[in-house]
Amino acid sequence: MNDKKLIGIIIIAIIIFFGVYMYFSGELTSGNWEIKEVNGLKFKVPNNLANGSTFGGNIVDGVNTGYSYIIQEPKFIVEVYDFNANQTNENDSSQWQEQLDKLYQNPTANIEVAQIDGNEVQTIENIIGEGNMSYTFFKVQNKEILIKWDKTITLETIKEITKNFYELN
């Protein structure tokens, strides 16, 4: 066996070992993640996103400030909107839809529509001019969720967080 093949086999073995380790350690799955709750919906976040602040339903000058979970570094925000057919409430789904429509019009948007547990999830990545943030929009029960994150957080992590919204509610 020549040296190149041996090196190749060793590299593949290391990659496989690392992947198995990450899977069973819970870094790529939510097995040991922390449960959070925003506006009555539970979800899990990995340890590096567990030190955020939850804000909910505060009324400032007669306006509902909304429901959110926020971390400044890395930048990670979960916003939960009430579905309101009349769209008369500051925390209603019209804000969710307005943000989605605005991002769809951005020419730098990389848009993916996927199914997670049979539910439509729209992900818009790497929006230039929006702080290079990425966004995921989806619905759970009678609420609409928007997750915003920066490039230091992987899409696989966001998909696992999204999946947990469906599993825990």
Domain residue extents for the chain:
1-30, 33-168
Q: What is the mean pLDDT of the chain?
A: 78
The tens digit of pLDDT for each residue in 88-123 reads 455 555 677 777 788 778 777 778 888 888 888 988
The tens digit of pLDDT for each residue in 114-153 reads 888 888 898 888 666 666 788 899 999 888 899 999 988 9
Q: Which amino acid is at 72?
A: Q
CA pseudo-torsion sign 158, 162, 163, 169: positive
pTM over 0.85: no
29 within 8 A of 157, measured Cβ to Cβ: no
CATH class of 33-168: alpha beta
**24 — pLDDT class (breaks 50, 70, 90):** very low
> Quick check: 35 pLDDT over 90?
yes
Cα 96 to Cα 101: distance, rounded to the nearest angstrom: 9
> Quick check: 31 pLDDT over 80?
no
